[in-house]
Amino acid sequence: MKLLENKTAIVTGASRGIGTGIALLLAEHGANVAFTYLSSEAKAKELEAQIQAKGVKAKAYHSDASDYKASEQLVNDVLAEFGKVDILVNNAGITKDGLLMRMSEEQFDAVIKANLKSVFNMTKAIQRPMLKERNGSIINITSVVGIRGNAGQANYAASKAGIIGFTKSVALELGSRNIRCNAVAPGFIETEMTAALDEKVVAGWREGIPLKRGGTPLDVANAVAFLASDMASYITGQVIQVCGGMLT
């Protein structure tokens, strides 16, 4: 039997990078996958087909997790289509980097809304059906930047630190109903976004990591799949760092 057989997952922001890796691996382990995208319909449809090719049900939804009503509607639509939701992966997020002295209010608010408010919206929407089932695993994608901070990313670091506090609070609130809530904190993960960076800069970052390499979306997805599964049934309120030893 596969690790996540007969389970249904929602993954937000899955049309690229880490989100795509998570959606594909959950499907590999037998989960049906509903996922959201905001801009790239072509990539979303391609991912939908890739997931279906693994022999599970998949559907792409154009939905903005930072919108409260849209999140409620999404959960209702997924429940109508799939019947239940066992796993929620809050992955959607953006960056708008800049030193604080140059950061606009719009840049700060946009990142908080997309990264942190979205986690509230989706968790709030999924809470009632999970309480009814007395079962569920909520996994929030935070960042090592939310733990240690990073120059030029005050907005991003604040949003990711907020996710950690939110995760721990939800774990305390919902644990008695057998609903677990954990966070995964990636470090330097190599995606199509980092591929555009100067190779010497990237090599310098790799050298500063104890494992001497950047992570992959699969590295993050493996942690998510574990936390989503019954193998992690006694783990809640935790932050799993997937960072190659950047933080110890």
Q: How confident is the model at residue 197 (pLDDT cuts 50, 70, 90)?
A: confident
- pLDDT, residue 152, reads 94
Question: CA-to-CA distance for 189 and 217, rounded, in angstroms?
Answer: 7
User: How much of the chain exceeds pLDDT 70, in percent?
Assistant: 100
* 145 Cβ neighbours under 8 A, 6+ residues apart: 153, 156, 157, 160
Q: Which position has the token pair 């979306």?
A: 217
Predicted pLDDT at 40? 86
Catalytic annotation present for 156: yes
Q: Is residue 247 part of a domain?
A: no
Which residue has better confidence, 178 or 39?
Answer: 178
Q: For residue 3, is it within any domain?
A: no
pLDDT in tens, 112-153: 999 999 999 999 999 999 999 999 999 999 999 999 999 999
Supply the pTM of this predicted model: 0.96
Asked, for residue 1, whether it belongs to a domain, the answer is: no
Count of domains for the chain = 1
Q: What confidence score (pLDDT) does residue 148 get?
A: 96
What average pLDDT does the segment 57-62 reach? Answer: 98
- The rounded distance, in Å, linking the Cα atoms of 236 and 169 is 10
pLDDT more than 90, % of the chain: 92
* Residue 248 within any structural domain of the chain: no
Residues with Cβ < 8 Å from 43, sequence gap 6 or more? 15, 16, 20, 37
Q: Is residue 83 part of a domain?
A: yes
> Is 79 contained in some domain?
yes
Does 21 have pLDDT greater than 90? yes
Among the listed residues 61, 68, 156, 234, the single catalytic one is 156
Question: What is the average pLDDT across 173-199?
Answer: 91
Q: Is residue 160 domain-resident?
A: yes
137 in any annotated domain: yes
Q: What is the DSSP string of the chain?
A: --TTTT-EEEESS-SSHHHHHHHHHHHHTT-EEEEEESS-HHHHHHHHHHHHTTTS-EEEEE--TTSHHHHHHHHHHHHHHHS---EEEE---------GGG--HHHHHHHHIIIIIHHHHHHHHHHHHHHHHT-EEEEEE--THHHH--TT-HHHHHHHHHHHHHHHHHHHHHGGGTEEEEEEEE-SB--TTGGGS-HHHHHHHHHTSTTSS-B-HHHHHHHHHHHHSGGGTT--S-EEEESTTS--
Q: What is the mean pLDDT of residues 75-103?
A: 97
pLDDT higher than threshold 90 for residue 205? no
Range of the domain at 43: 8-242
How far, in Å, CA of 139 to CA of 224, rounded? 7
Query: What is the pLDDT at residue 53?
Result: 97
Q: How confident is the model at residue 82 (pLDDT cuts 50, 70, 90)?
A: very high
What's 160's domain CATH number?
Answer: 3.40.50.720
